């Protein structure tokens, strides 16, 4: 009978009454690593995998993995809707496949060794007239209390975010005057700060044909946005970096964007080895977030690489199950709780969801303040660190700085 995988029978009426259950399945696999394209491959939780010859779309959604490391293990999956309602099952020996290199060709990853149904008894708070609408438990394991358009947000001090905030800096680059009136560009040895009239954006970069070891370009707001004690300080911006995730070695540049100056700050960084992470020292590799401080008398950059983020690494392994692409136009935000000590969060917005990449804590840890000040400018910069392979730039469309407290003008 159709839909059997959605129910179990209530004895003794084994052919009659049904008890609603949540159906999942576990697929034992073997031969992982026996295919050239998948040596060292890591399963991606949250992705859809194809099983050759499986019914419906052929796809299963992987929501859990136990990989023994010897080519065998177990995948916890949901079947596609057609397979679930038509009671279809995989075939032992079928290939488990995934398009690893995004060329629309599926690579064989492992074989189906065995499979079995798993039924989860559920108790749920349902909508009165539609049992399909129930209390949602999010991917952090919390009951999802939300407004009509998403989850409520908390500021850096744990207060519910409301409309009672004060804008300290408004930089939407709809016209060149917004740049020339509010920012001070610095261009050294081939570095440039240009306004793109067509794209309505600002590009900060340099041409690799004229770069030297001193090449630099920076675009810094004239305003040092005042931090209000006890308030959450929020910086936001929209940026794109060209060619960060391709190439064959060092790109020879540091690109930085956030709330910072030469001595102190909080910012995102793409290191001189680019997104492919070369063989230089670990602090120079890949995408990172940075805390800059001069409290010790000299400038110290505390660099946290993407691999070490304590939030969502945005490499497909996190709670969002999303992979970040710096070559696309993305929103970035930093919120700051600062009294010398405090907390700094770095994040983005993807698919309408606010995502925390990394949280930096500076309390009960250091013997000095995490920075000399949180009153800082909005800044975008690129600095030569060798010979780049391409003409590099960082492009921005909008930036803003907020105090998340309603402030009465004086």
Plot region of 242 (φ>0 → left; ψ -120 to 50 → alpha; else → beta)? beta
E strands in 84-211: 95-98, 107-120, 166-172, 183-188, 191-196, 201-206
Q: What is the mean pLDDT of residues 125-134?
A: 65
Domains of the chain: which residue ranges?
Answer: 4-120, 166-403
Count the alpha carbons within 13 Å of 72 in the hemisphere toward its beta carbon: 3
Q: Which two tokens stand for residue 303?
A: 């660099």
Q: Which residues pair with 33 in a beta bridge?
A: none
Least confident of 28-42, 144-158, 312-326: 144-158
User: What pLDDT is recorded for position 39?
Assistant: 78
User: What pLDDT is recorded for position 182?
Assistant: 97
At 163 the three-state DSSP class reads: coil
82, 57 contact by CB (below 8 A) = yes
- pLDDT exceeds 80 at position 109: yes
Closest CA to 382 of 238, 261, 205, 250: 205
238, 393 contact by CB (below 8 A) = no
Name the DSSP class of 136: P
User: What pLDDT is recorded for position 247?
Assistant: 47
Q: Which two tokens stand for residue 125?
A: 């708070």
Separation CA 300–CA 305 (nearest Å): 16
Separation CA 297–CA 316 (nearest Å): 40
Closest CA to 359 of 376, 374, 342, 371: 342
Separation CA 270–CA 284 (nearest Å): 8
Largest Cα–Cα separation, the chain: 85
What does the pLDDT look like over 290-325, one tens digit per residue? 999 999 899 999 999 998 999 999 988 888 888 888
Highest mean pLDDT among 65-69, 192-196, 273-277: 192-196
At 334 the three-state DSSP class reads: strand
376 prior amide bond cis, ω within 30: no
Separation CA 245–CA 289 (nearest Å): 17
The number of angstroms, rounded, from the C-alpha of 84 to the middle of its chain's C-alpha atoms is 32
Residue with tokens 């009153």: 375
Separation CA 237–CA 260 (nearest Å): 13
Least confident of 6-20, 200-214, 249-263, 362-376: 6-20
Domain boundaries 166-403, corresponding CATH code: 2.60.120.200
Least confident of 123-132, 210-219, 375-384: 123-132
287, 275 contact by CB (below 8 A) = yes
273, 282 contact by CB (below 8 A) = no
Residue 349 CB contacts under 8 Å (≥ 6 apart), including other chains: 331, 333, 355
- pLDDT exceeds 80 at position 332: yes
pTM to 2 decimal places: 0.67
79, 25 contact by CB (below 8 A) = yes
Separation CA 158–CA 161 (nearest Å): 9
Separation CA 287–CA 241 (nearest Å): 11
Closest CA to 45 of 322, 321, 353, 357: 321
Entry field: residues in the chain: 410
User: What pLDDT is recorded for position 354?
Assistant: 86
Separation CA 353–CA 350 (nearest Å): 5
Model confidence band, residue 402 (pLDDT cutoffs 50, 70, 90): very high
Q: What is the mean pLDDT of residues 26-42?
A: 87
- pLDDT exceeds 70 at position 123: no
The number of angstroms, rounded, from the C-alpha of 274 to the middle of its chain's C-alpha atoms is 17
Least confident of 55-59, 215-219, 325-329, 406-410: 406-410
At 18 the three-state DSSP class reads: strand
Separation CA 350–CA 337 (nearest Å): 23
% of the chain with per-residue pLDDT over 70 = 83
Model confidence band, residue 156 (pLDDT cutoffs 50, 70, 90): low
Least confident of 62-76, 82-96, 154-168: 154-168
| Of 165 and 17, more confident | 165
Average pLDDT, the chain: 85
């Amino acid at each position: 009978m159709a839909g059997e995988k959605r129910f179990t029978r209530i004895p003794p009426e084994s052919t009659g009454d049904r008890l609603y259950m949540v159906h999942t399945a576990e697929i034992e696999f073997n031969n992982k690593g026996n295919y050239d394209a998948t040596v060292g491959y890591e399963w991606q939780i949250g992705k859809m995998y194809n099983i050759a010859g499986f019914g419906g779309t052929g796809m299963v959604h992987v929501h859990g993995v136990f990989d023994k490391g010897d080519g065998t293990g177990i995948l916890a999956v949901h079947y596609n809707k057609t397979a679930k309602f038509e009671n279809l099952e995989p075939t032992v020996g079928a290939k488990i496949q995934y398009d690893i290199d995004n060329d629309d060709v599926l690579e064989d990853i492992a074989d189906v060794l065995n499979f079995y149904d798993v039924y989860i008894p559920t108790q749920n708070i349902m909508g009165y007239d539609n049992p399909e609408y129930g209390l949602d438990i999010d991917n952090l394991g919390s009951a999802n209390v939300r407004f009509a358009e998403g989850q409520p947000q908390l500021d850096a001090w744990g207060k519910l975010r409301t409309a009672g905030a004060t804008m300290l800096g408004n930089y939407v680059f709809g016209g060149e005057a917004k740049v020339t009136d509010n920012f001070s560009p610095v261009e050294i040895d081939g570095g440039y700060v240009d306004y793109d009239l067509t794209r309505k954006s600002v590009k900060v970069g340099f041409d690799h044909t004229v770069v030297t070891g001193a090449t630099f370009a920076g675009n810094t707001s004239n305003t040092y946005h005042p931090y209000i004690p006890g308030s959450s300080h929020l910086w936001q911006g929209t940026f794109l970096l060209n060619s960060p995730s391709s190439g064959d070695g060092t790109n020879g540049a540091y690109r930085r964007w956030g709330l910072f100056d030469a001595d102190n700050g909080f910012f995102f960084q793409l290191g001189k080895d680019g997104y492919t992470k070369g063989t230089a020292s670990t602090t120079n590799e890949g995408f990172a977030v940075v805390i800059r401080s001069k409290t010790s008398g000299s400038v110290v950059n505390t660099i946290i690489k993407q691999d070490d983020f304590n939030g969502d690494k945005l490499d497909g392994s996190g709670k969002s199950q999303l992979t970040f692409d710096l070559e696309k136009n993305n929103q970035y935000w930093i919120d700051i709780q600062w009294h010398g000590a405090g907390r700094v969060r770095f994040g983005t917005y993807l698919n309408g969801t606010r995502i925390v990449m990394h949280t930096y804590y500076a309390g009960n840890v250091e013997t000095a303040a995490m920075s000399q000040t949180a009153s800082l400018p909005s800044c975008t910069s690129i600095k030569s660190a060798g010979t780049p392979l391409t003409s590099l730039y960082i492009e921005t469309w909008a930036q803003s700085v907020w105090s998340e407290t309603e402030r009465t003008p004086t």
